[in-house]
Amino acid sequence: MSESHTPLLTTPLDSLHRELGGKMVPFAGYAMPVQYPTGILTEHLHTRAAAGLFDVSHMGQVVIEGDDPAAALEALVPGDVQALGIGRTRYSVFTGTNGGILDDLMISKLSPTKLFLVINAACKHADFKHMQDWLAGCSVTMLDDRALLALQGPKAAEAFAAIAPESVGQGFMTIREYDVAGIPCLVTRSGYTGEDGFEISAPAARAEELARALLALDGVRPIGLGARDSLRLEAGLCLYGSDIDTTTTPVEGDIQWIIGKRRREQGGFPGAAVIQAQLADGARRKRVGIKPDGKAPARAHTEITDLDGNVIGEITSGGFGPSVNGPVAMGYVPAAFAAPGTKIKLVVRGKALDAAVVSLPFTPHRYFKG
C-alpha cells in the first residue's frame, strides 16, 4: 500500500463530503467518498430513479489553445477532432505506438482555437506531459483551480433547470458556458452512468457553494465512487486501467466507433498500423458483457474458461448490479466466443460457474435525445 505513505490530495469538496458523512478512501492519490451513510445500493438506485451528485474533481481538466488544436491533437487520438463542431463533445482515447490505450478522455471544442479535455485522475500527469511533448505550437494548460461535479439521473435535467435555466434543451454531448446558481460554469451534457445528466466545471473557490445549491434541488442526493462504479458497469462503460489499458486496442476494447471514418483511412495517430489491421481483419479478442447465471458476483481478474475448462480470458470489471438485481461483468474473450449467447464458465473460488456472453449495456442508456 504505497498510498499510505503519501499524504492524500483533497478536492475542493472535501469538508462537505465529511460533513455529509462520506466514507473517505484513497483513490488515484485523492481522498474520495466511496459512499455516504445510506450506502452504495441505495445511492445507485436513487441515481437511476431520481438524481445523484458526484464529485469528480480529481479528474484532470485541460485546455489546449493554438492556431489549430484539433489538427494537432489528432496526432495523439484516433477521433476526427477536426470534424467536431463548435460546442460539441466527443469521447476518445490517447493511443500508444503499439495501438494500446494510454487513457480515455472527453474532448470538447470551445472554439476553432480552443479545446477542453477531461482526463482520468490516475493518468493526468502522464497525459499532460504527453500533450506538452507532442502538441507542437499549442499551449497546454492544466486547470488545477477548477472542480468538476456530475449531476446524473432521470430527474437531473428538471432539477438543474431551476438554477441553470440555460441548460434547458442543451443537447447530449454538447458543451456550453453559463451561470449555475450565479456561478460561471462550463457544462457538458454527458456522464458516466448511462443516465441523462450534466458534468459541471466550476471555479474551485465556489465549488462547495455550487454543490450545496445542487444538493438543495428536489430529488438530488450525494453519491460516492462505489455507486459511480456500479452505475457505469451496468451501463457497459469502460473503466480505464481495468477494461481498457495499454495492452488493449480500441478495437479489442469494442470502442472502435470512436475512430472517425477519415482517420480509419488516413491513420496518422499512434499505433495506426496495428489498429487499421484489426479494423480490416478483426481483433483476436474482444471486450464483451458477461452475465453469470447464478447469484455469485464474478470480480475483476476472475478466469473465464470454455465449457471444457480451457482458460480463454479474464473478467476486467465485475460485481453486483443493483438495478439488474444480480451479478454483471465485462471481460475479454477470443473472437470466436464474442457472440451474445455464447456459454462460458467463470472460475469463482475454485468453482466453475455457468455464465453467458451478453450484449451491453445491462441497463438501457437513457441519454437526452431532445
For other proteins, the closer of residues 262 and 301 by Cβ is 301
Instruction: Give the type of residue at 192.
Output: Y
Residue 41 is a binding residue for other proteins (CB under 8 A): yes
Residue 170 is a binding residue for other proteins (CB under 8 A): no
The C-alpha angle with vertex 324 and arms to 361 and 152, in degrees rounded to 5, equals 65
* Separation between Cα atoms, residue 146 and residue 143, nearest integer Å: 6
Selected binder of other proteins within 13, 17, 32, 35 (CB under 8 A): 35
Q: How many residues bind other proteins (CB under 8 A)?
A: 19
For other proteins, the closer of residues 116 and 320 by Cβ is 320
CB of 366 to other proteins, least distance (A): 21
* Separation between Cα atoms, residue 198 and residue 194, nearest integer Å: 12
Binding segment (CB under 8 A) for other proteins, from list 6-14, 164-172, 255-263, 316-324: 316-324
- Least Cα distance to 193 among 235, 148, 155 occurs for 235
Selected binder of other proteins within 192, 269, 320, 337 (CB under 8 A): 320
Residue 239 is a binding residue for other proteins (CB under 8 A): no
- The CA–CA distances, whole Å, from 183 to 139, 205, 343 equal 26, 10, 52
Selected binder of other proteins within 17, 44, 90, 285 (CB under 8 A): 44
Residue 256 is a binding residue for other proteins (CB under 8 A): no
- What's the order of all strands across the beta sheet hosting 101-111? 89-95, 101-111, 114-119, 60-65, 139-142
For other proteins, the closer of residues 96 and 153 by Cβ is 153
Binding segment (CB under 8 A) for other proteins, from list 5-13, 105-113, 161-169, 314-322: 314-322
For other proteins, the closer of residues 60 and 226 by Cβ is 226
Give 268's DSSP letter. -
Residue 296 is a binding residue for other proteins (CB under 8 A): yes
Selected binder of other proteins within 5, 261, 349, 369 (CB under 8 A): 349
Selected binder of other proteins within 212, 284, 295, 343 (CB under 8 A): 295
Residues 6+ apart with CB under 8 A from 233: 239, 317, 318, 319, 321, 328, 329, 330, 362
Residues 6+ apart with CB under 8 A from 256: 250, 279
Which spans of this chain sit near other proteins (rule: CB under 8 A)?
A: 34-35, 39-42, 44, 226-227, 230, 295-297, 299, 319-320, 322, 327, 349
